[in-house]
């Protein structure tokens, strides 16, 4: 309802008398230009009409974006005019740009400066410099401290409409059509009455029992009792709803009526308790909020479908939900037996949060960035601690728009103007250049003056102190900040950045030649700065970058690590890499020790987790006096079985060139006391063995590099068998063998593929490889290739499937294998919705002092996430990041070349990867 205007009391009579002497006073309504959605104004035409009738001149800056048309302001007596410099009072909703401020004027708007918000301090500085008097609506409060000028109700109304729309989308993504699908975003309605009707229509369908039964009763929790919460509840009341007490929420969430929805309003006493005695004392809480904790996570949240949060959070007060709380709340519920596939149960109870407070990092700890009207929803995945713009995938649907009333701009303008109008005249009847102490302001207006005559007012001098203390803290924090340089932006970089950016004291620079990947990563993660460069071609710039950081993580191909290590040695900076400790790296051992730095290698998956799982088992065995008689470890990154639909039975989730080159490496291993040597060049593919430990996966394995070198570092010189190998699906090795026969896995320089050479097609290249002079008919080339493959049909089919006999240009590269790698990366990627998997099996044979034998089996199987990280990225990235964090924090302080073979290193890493969902299992077989 509109509040009626009355000017018959003493105060207004005084105003009318006064206005006769100030008929030339001018008010201006400035154009809103903070963003495209800001269509509100601080005053509506009816308020302008009242002011002009009182003798004041009202200027309105032209704006086609403003929801209320200019002709309505003109009809009310306003003057549409760009130049507003004659106004003594300029009013707006949001802050103006600094370059549009006019000196020595009165300004009224939401300045967002009272907490010394860093983003708005330049604006405040300019206001002080230009001796502007600033009235901040947020500080216009009555004698009880309650705000008298606010949009709060309409934030609640719009927020509730939006989250009902979002729930419709989220339910659909989970497999359920619901009546909420017919509710749109708040700005899609001309006014709130239309929105109410849409909500009522949805409510009518709910009352008919049209909600899917498998979703269970829906519960909505409203925090706070102010206008924000009341506005949201007003819209909620258009549904067939029943409000219950918070302690009744558990019961109705489990057995409530599906023909209605349930709501509860949460006040402080419902969830806040003193830490030492579990009691709540409102007076004591106001004095000592740090002594209290919230039980919302255990008493309310487990029974909540949708949280509508309208409370602001201040430092030292308890949060409603932390990241750890979210992880527990998102644990999958146990499905009822026999639930039809088409009628799935919900994955967890808490589906959505509408944080109307839009208080980043506040009462909802993991709400770290606001959404927008353009992109209103995101999903928070608590397990990975990432936010992705979608309504699909795992997690909680989040909506946290910070300008909600802008979605219902006409009603919000009229509502706000009604609240502001009683105070306009006293602000208007003063000049900004006049001393503040000469003004006859009411307490509501006087207490809202932030700055005047070039200074902060006495009540707000604390802002400067806040700024100084924050800047001092930032200076100290900069001294405490750990600076990490990440080289490479490929598959593994996501988990590395995600893990390290959880600590706000870690600043990251990521350098890569892949500009698009850099843009995506810097957009996704805070505290990350990107540098677009080719590390290998700009050694001086690399050295300069390394010097500025405390630690380097190299995710580049292993061949680049010696160069990076040398830069780290020269600048005395620690280095972490997931790759093998190659001979070229080992040559730097003495230099690393002399520099007094730590260089950690082999902390990915293989090598990495395979070492750690082996050493955990070996060390435990030695503690009971057992000796190791055999050690076999096989590991592979594969597409999930349902996505292995190509001749290679393989897709790429990491460096394609590394995968290809591994097939022509030499290998050495120990079998029953005999050292077996396999020469380089492809003989490895003739040493393939069928793997039957997971029969359903149809796996094969072949040896990987020199296994015998691990006897000494593992401390298992007693072992008669020592073999580390690679897993693939059956058929992979045979197909790769065909590529070897054709000379495609050749790392030698091949000038004809350089960027300066004329482009070859695959058909032309293949002619050269099989010794045919082009041009030739396809059938002739096919027959020649078939002969080269020793008439192996499956190998020929793989060559044809990849288009290696066709007219597609060969990618530019330094070598043939480099070109093939690029081609395969394009033709064998993981498609949308496809996932990879990691399979690892360690088998360790033990002889106990009693003489009996025991076989230990350690299995690790990890699947990638459809909307998140691949299994390879997780199992390489998280261990690498954890090791890097341990170096930063001083947990790993040993100097020199390090691999994770000691308990003080592998123990914490294995414990922490479990927290990231990388879980392994063990079992034993005792043999007499």
Report, as residue numbers or ranges, the catalytic residues: 606
Gap between the Cα atoms of 15 and 427, Å rounded: 12
CB of 402 closer than 8 Å to CB of 1: no
Longest dimension (CA), the chain: 110
**Would you call 264 helix, strand, or coil by DSSP?**
strand
Q: Report the C-alpha gap between 821 and 828 in whole angstroms.
A: 10
Assign 3-state DSSP to the chain and report helix, strand, coil percentages, each to 5.
40, 20, 40
Which is it for strands 699-703 and 689-691: parallel, antiparallel or unpaired? Answer: antiparallel
Distances (CA, A) of 428 to 28, 53, 339, 420: 10, 15, 67, 12
> Virtual CA dihedral for 885, 888, 893, 895, nearest 10 degrees?
100
What does the alpha-carbon distance between residue 333 and residue 345 come to, in Å, rounded to a whole number? 9
| Dist CA 825 CA 659 (whole Å) | 11
- The DSSP 8-state label assigned to residue 525 in this structure reads S
Alpha-carbon span 901 to 610, nearest angstrom: 10
Q: Which two tokens stand for residue 89?
A: 């009072």
Cβ contact 618:592 at 8 Å: no
Contact indicator for 289, 317 with CB cutoff of 8 Å: yes
The sign one gets for the Cα dihedral 767, 772, 778, 784 is negative
Whether 791 contacts 738, CB under 8 Å:
no
Return d(Cα 50, Cα 69) in angstroms, integer: 18
For residue 90, what are the β-bridge partners?
A: 28, 107
Question: Using CA atoms, how far apart are residues 69 and 61, in angstroms rounded to an integer?
Answer: 12
- For residue 243, give the nearest of 210, 221, 258 by alpha carbon: 221
Distant-in-sequence contacts of 324-330, Cβ < 8 A, 24+ apart: 325/297, 325/301, 326/366, 326/380, 326/382, 326/396, 327/382, 327/383, 328/297, 329/297, 329/301, 329/302, 329/382, 329/396, 330/382, 330/383, 330/394, 330/395, 330/396
Give the whole-angstrom CA distance, residue 905 versus residue 892.
7
CA distance 735 to 794: 7
Phi and psi at residue 838, to the nearest 5°: -115, 130
Please give the Cα distance from 272 to 293 (Å, whole number): 6
* Cβ-Cβ contacts under 8 Å for 743 (sequence gap 6 or more): 769, 816
Strand pairing of 219-223 and 306-309? parallel
How are beta strands 667-671 and 674-678 bridged, if at all? antiparallel
As to burial, measured by CB atoms within 10 angstroms (0-12 exposed, 13-18 middle, 19+ buried), residue 603 is buried
* 308 neighbors 159 (Cβ within 8 angstroms): yes
How far, in Å, CA of 913 to CA of 918, rounded?
Answer: 5
Of the candidates 207, 310, 304, the residue with the CA atom closest to the CA atom of residue 264: 304
What is the rounded distance in angstroms from the CA atom of residue 400 to the CA atom of residue 408? 16
Interatomic CA distance for residues 629 and 719, integer angstroms: 4
């Amino acid at each position: 309802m509109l509040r009626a205007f009355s000017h018959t009391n003493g105060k207004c009579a005084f105003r009318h008398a006064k206005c006769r002497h100030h008929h030339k006073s001018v008010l201006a309504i400035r154009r809103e230009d903070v963003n495209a959605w800001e269509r509100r104004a601080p005053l509506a035409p009816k308020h302008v009409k009242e002011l002009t009738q009182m003798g004041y001149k009202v200027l309105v800056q032209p704006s086609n974006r403003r929801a209320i048309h200019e002709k309505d302001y003109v009809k009310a007596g306003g003057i549409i005019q760009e130049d507003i410099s004659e106004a003594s009072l300029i009013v707006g909703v949001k802050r103006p740009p600094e370059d549009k401020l006019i000196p020595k004027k009165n300004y009224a708007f939401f300045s967002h400066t009272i907490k010394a918000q860093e983003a708005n301090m330049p604006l405040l500085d300019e206001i002080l410099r230009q001796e502007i008097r600033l009235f901040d609506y947020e500080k216009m409060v009555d004698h009880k401290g309650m705000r008298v000028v606010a949009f709060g109700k309409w934030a609640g109304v719009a927020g509730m409409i939006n989250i009902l729309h979002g729930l419709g989308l989220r339910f659909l993504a989970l497999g359920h059509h619901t009546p909420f699908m017919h509710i749109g975003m708040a700005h899609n309605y001309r006014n709130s009455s239309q929105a109410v009707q849409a909500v009522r229509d949805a409510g009518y369908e709910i009352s008919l029992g049209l909600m899917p039964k498998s979703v269970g009763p829906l519960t909505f929790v409203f925090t706070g009792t102010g206008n924000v919460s009341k506005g949201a509840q007003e819209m909620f009341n258009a549904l067939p709803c029943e409000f219950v007490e918070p302690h009744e929420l558990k019961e109705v969430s489990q057995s409530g009526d599906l023909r209605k929805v349930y709501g509860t309003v949460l006040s402080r006493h419902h969830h806040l308790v003193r830490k030492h005695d579990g009691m709540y004392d409102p007076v004591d809480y106001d004095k000592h909020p740090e002594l209290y904790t919230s039980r919302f996570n255990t008493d309310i949240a487990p029974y909540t479908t949708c949280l509508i949060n309208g409370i602001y959070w201040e430092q030292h007060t308890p949060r409603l939900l932390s990241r750890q709380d979210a992880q527990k709340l998102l644990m999958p519920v146990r499905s009822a037996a026999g639930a039809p596939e088409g009628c799935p149960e919900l994955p967890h109870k808490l589906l959505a949060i509408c944080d109307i407070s839009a208080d980043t990092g506040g009462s909802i700890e993991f709400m770290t960035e606001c959404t927008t009207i353009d992109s209103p929803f995101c999903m928070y995945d608590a397990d990975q601690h990432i936010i992705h713009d979608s309504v699909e995938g795992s997690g909680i649907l989040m909506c946290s728009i910070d300008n909600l009333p802008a979605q219902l701009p006409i009603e919000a303008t009229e509502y706000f103007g009604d609240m502001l109008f009683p105070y306009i005249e006293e602000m208007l009847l003063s000049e900004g250049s006049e001393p503040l102490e000469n003004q006859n302001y009411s307490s509501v207006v006087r207490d809202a003056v932030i700055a005047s005559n070039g200074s902060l007012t006495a009540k707000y001098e604390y802002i400067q102190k806040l700024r100084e203390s924050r800047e001092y803290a930032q200076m100290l924090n900069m001294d405490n900040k750990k600076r990490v340089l990440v080289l490479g932006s490929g598959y593994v970089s996501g988990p590395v950045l995600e893990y390290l950016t959880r600590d706000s004291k870690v600043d990251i620079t990521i350098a890569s030649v892949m500009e698009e990947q850099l843009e995506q990563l810097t957009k996704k993660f805070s505290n990350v700065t990107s540098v677009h460069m080719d590390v290998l071609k700009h050694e001086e710039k690399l050295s300069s970058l390394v010097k500025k950081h405390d630690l380097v993580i190299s995710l580049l191909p292993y061949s680049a690590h010696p160069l990076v290590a040398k830069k780290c040695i020269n600048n005395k900076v620690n280095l972490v890499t997931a790759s093998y400790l190659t001979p070229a790296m080992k040559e730097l051992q003495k230099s690393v020790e002399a520099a007094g730095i730590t260089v950690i290698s082999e902390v990915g998956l293989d090598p990495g987790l395979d070492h750690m799982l082996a050493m955990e088992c070996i060390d435990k065995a030695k503690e009971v006096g057992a000796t190791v008689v055999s050690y076999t470890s096989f590991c592979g990154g594969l597409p999930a079985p349902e996505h292995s639909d190509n001749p290679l039975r393989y897709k790429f989730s990491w460096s394609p060139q590394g995968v290809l080159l591994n097939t022509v490496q030499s290998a050495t291993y120990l079998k029953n006391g005999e050292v077996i040597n396999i020469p380089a060049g492809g003989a490895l593919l003739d040493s393939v063995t069928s793997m039957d430990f997971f029969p359903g996966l149809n796996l094969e394995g072949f040896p990987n590099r020199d296994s015998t070198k691990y006897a000494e570092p593992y401390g298992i010189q007693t072992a008669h068998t020592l073999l580390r190998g690679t897993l693939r699906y059956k058929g992979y090795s045979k197909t790769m063998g065909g590529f070897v026969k054709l000379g495609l896995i050749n790392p030698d320089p091949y000038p004809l593929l350089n960027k300066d050479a004329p482009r070859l097609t695959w058909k032309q290249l293949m002619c050269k490889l099989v010794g045919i002079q082009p041009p030739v008919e396809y059938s002739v080339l096919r027959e020649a290739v078939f002969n080269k493959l020793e008439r192996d049909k499956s190998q020929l089919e793989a060559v044809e499937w990849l288009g290696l006999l066709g007219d597609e240009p060969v990618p530019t590269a330094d070598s043939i294998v480099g070109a093939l790698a690029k081609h395969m990366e394009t033709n064998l990627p993981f498609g949308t919705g496809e996932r990879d998997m990691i399979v690892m099996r360690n088998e360790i044979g033990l002889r106990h002092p009693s003489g009996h034998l025991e076989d230990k089996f350690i299995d690790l199987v990890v699947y990638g996430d459809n909307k998140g990280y691949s299994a390879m990225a997780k199992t390489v990235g998280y261990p690498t990041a954890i090791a890097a964090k341990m170096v930063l924090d001083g947990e790993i302080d040993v100097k020199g070349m390090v691999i994770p073979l000691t308990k003080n290193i592998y123990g914490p890493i294995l414990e922490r990867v479990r927290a990231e969902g990388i879980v392994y299992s063990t079992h034993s077989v005792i043999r007499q």
